[in-house]
Amino acid sequence: MNTHQTLFLKKRFAEARHKISLCLEEVLSIDLLEQLGKCLKREIACDIYVSKQGLEKTESDAFLLIHLLKLRKLGASIYLSESTEGLSKILCFKDHEMIYVLQEDHENFEELHTADQGFDEYLNYFTSAEPEYRLEPDDITIEFLSESNTVYERTATKIFWEVTNATHVTIDGIGEVANSGQKTITFLNDTVLKLKATHGSEKKIKSLKVKTISEFKIGYEVQFRNPSSNEFVAMNESQYAGVFGIAKGYDVRLTWEVAHADTVNVKPFGFYENQGSHIFNSDGSIEINIEAKFRGKSKNQKILIYSFPTPVFERKFIDLNPNILKELEINIDDVRNKALHYLKGSDNNQFRDYMDEMDDKYRSLKSTLLQKMEGTDFNQFYEQHSIPKLFKKRKSTLLNYFKSDPKIVDNIESTRDYYE
């Protein structure tokens, strides 16, 4: 790790208000370990996850090992983590809301917030099924968790704790508590709870966050594959929520995301992931139901996709070669031409002069006509007879004919966005 990267982590450690977690293949430098010690003195919870190979390397350096174990006495938790084996990254998790990722061969850290893609995947690294590293029988241990990490606003939930080898245990906002217990709390907003356990000069600090949400949402999008670009394009809902229309035979892609849900079922496809996508063909109309449950409450999102048997207009009716006028040759081959050449060869000079004059006028008229034809295109035609205008005329006719059937009217209206 170079000087720039070391300074970056030092700044993040100094900014921390609640918690710092590190996940790495090898133990950090003594300089950074001392900076973590300063965090612990400010009662910032600190968890360190290191690979087996990294800890073995630390044990070969007595000076580095002493600094690492000193952090435990100050309140840090050190874990052997199998998930860090071969990890070509350094991960730093700050205050339950930001993860900083240093990729191998990269100069700068990537910053991820809780809502960013990849955040949850990296968060999985900060877990360990193994006990703490070099845990002595009289060392303080803490288990501190909540019934759920996400709850509805103003909803009661329980927190649990189990502490060993401590003489005093306190939880911020609650005060001193027994070494083990539980408490029901109603959370009004996002809350960070911090538990501190002490025994003489030794202490241990743990922190957890309970996030609150005001409502439970099911997000989704319906798209169709545009035959011209072969790319998926969003379909807008009709005047009725969750109702879409499309011509038969087109590919449709459904994308869904249900944050925080305990269970999800996307029917009739049988998907159970909280987020995902599925492509299917619009051979016929289909009803889709996204069912989700969170903390005892259920929600259902119904999506209706009507498939029309009539194909939609995809392109202009006439395809013209743009060079057609340049390639066009105009030939006038009739009896008048033959008569003209015959008379020009006669002895009648007056008539011959007259015919020469007429020939010049003909050539001039031909030149003017060709110039006009070269400047002519079909743009004006398409402006007057465009597909949207054609659809608007036909739509008005269909709407008037089926005005007594709301479902058919809705289906016709749902195709408007395709043409626009």
DSSP conformation letters of 133-165: TT--TTS-EEEEEES-SEEETTEEEEEEEEEES
In a domain, 51, yes or no: yes
More confident residue, 345 or 171: 171
Q: Are residues 183 and 232 in the same domain?
A: no
Residue 404 belongs to some domain of the structure: no
Based on the fold, state whether residues 123 and 3 are members of the same structural domain.
yes
Its pTM stands at 0.61
Inside any domain, residue 409: no
- Whether residues 177 and 230 share a domain: the answer is no
Contact yes or no for 57/63 (Cβ under 8 A):
no
Residues 86 and 8 in one domain: yes
- How many residues belong to the chain? 420
Q: Which residues pair with 156 in a beta bridge?
A: 186
Last residue of a domain, one of 111, 135, 159: 135
* Residue that terminates a domain, selected from 117, 135, 153: 135
Is the residue at 152 inside a domain? yes
Q: Using pLDDT thresholds of 50, 70 and 90, give the confidence band for residue 106.
A: confident
pLDDT cut 90: percent of the chain above it: 36
What is the pLDDT at residue 165?
Answer: 94
What pLDDT, on a 0 to 100 scale, did the predictor assign at position 141?
A: 93
Indicate the pairing of strand 180-187 with strand 191-199: unpaired
Considering the domain architecture, whether residues 1 and 78 belong to the same structural domain is answered as yes
Rounded-to-integer distance, Cα 285 and Cα 308, Å: 8
Residues 152-163 have a mean pLDDT of: 91
Q: Is the pLDDT of residue 311 over 50?
A: yes
Residues of the domain holding 223: 219-308
Q: Are 73 and 103 found together in one domain?
A: yes
pLDDT greater than 90 at residue 384:
no
Q: Has residue 109 been placed in a domain?
A: yes
User: Which of 166-180, 209-223, 392-406 has the least mean pLDDT?
Assistant: 392-406
Residue 87 confidence (pLDDT): 63
Residues 82 and 150 in one domain: no
CATH code of the domain covering residue 141? 2.60.40.10
Tell whether 6 and 105 lie within a shared domain. Answer: yes
Could you give the number of structural domains in the chain? 4
User: Are 206 and 288 in a shared domain?
Assistant: no
Amino acid at 221: E
pLDDT score for 122: 86
- Asked if residue 392 is part of any domain, the answer here is no
Mean pLDDT of 47-61: 86
Classify strands 251-257 and 232-234 as parallel, antiparallel or unpaired: unpaired
Same structural domain for residues 245 and 360? no
- Sheet strands side by side (includes 175-177): 150-152, 202-213, 191-199, 168-171, 175-177
Domain-embedded: residue 367: yes
CATH number at residue 301: 2.60.40
Same domain, 20 and 104: yes
Give the pLDDT score at 398: 78
Within a domain: 382? no
Provide the CATH number for the domain around residue 94.
Answer: 3.30.870.10
Q: Are residues 285 and 226 in the same domain?
A: yes
Which letter does DSSP use for residue 116 in this model?
A: S
Report pLDDT for 155. Answer: 83
Q: Examine the fold and report which residue of 278, 308, 338 is the final residue of a domain before the chain moves on.
A: 308
Closest CA to 166 of 200, 213, 198: 198
Position 276 pLDDT exceeds 70: yes
